[in-house]
Structure 1
Amino acid sequence: MRRAPAYGLMAAGLTLAACGPMPVEQAERQCYAQYAPKAPLTGEAGMGVTNEGFRSQMKVEVNLGVTAHGDPSKAYNACVYRKSGRMPTRPLYSY
C-alpha cells in the first residue's frame, strides 16, 4: 500500500515536466510554421467566344498571410521565448 503515494508523486512529476520549456530548436520550428511568410495573392482569368456565345471564367485564391499584428519577426521571437525560455538561435527570415 505504500506504493500508491510514490506512483502519485511520479505522475505529478511527469505532468509538471510536460509543462516545462521545450528545446529551442523545436520551438523555432513550431513558431516558424505559425509566423512564416505566406504565399502572395494569386488568380486566374479566362475569356472566350464559343458556338454557344460568350464565356468567361475566373478563379481567385486570397491568402493575406496575416497571423500577427505588427512585425512578424518580433512575434516569432516572442513565441520562441515563450515556448523555450530562450531567444531564437535563427531569425525568422533565415529559413
Structure 2
Amino acid sequence: MQRATRHLAGAAGIRQFLELASPVLDFDRAVEMYKAGGVTLVPRSRARVERLFDGFDLLEPGLVWPPDWRPELGVGEVRDEGTPVPLYAGVGRKR
C-alpha cells in the first residue's frame, strides 16, 4: 500500500490531494464484522497509516476518525456518538 501511495505522489501534479481511509488495528471488532460479510481487510496502526501520507502534508484536523474530520452537521442531522467508526481518515496535499 505504501508503494502505491508513493506512486500516486509521483504521478500527482501541483496541488494534488490524497484522500485515504484505512481500517484500524485498535478496533478488533471491525475485522470480525468485515470478515463475517466476506470482506478481507488489512487493518493498520495509526503510525502505519500516517506513513501512507509520505510526500503529502496532512490537512487539518489530520488523521482522525471519519466523523471527526468534518464534524459539522447539516440541517436536521443528528450525530450518533454511540457508533464508533473503525477507520482513520485523512486528506493530504502533495508537497
User: In which range does the TM-score fall when normalised by the shorter chain?
Assistant: under 0.3
Structure ID, larger Rg: 1
Instruction: Identify the structure with the greater helix proportion.
Output: 1
Give TM-score, length-normalised by structure 1. Answer: 0.20
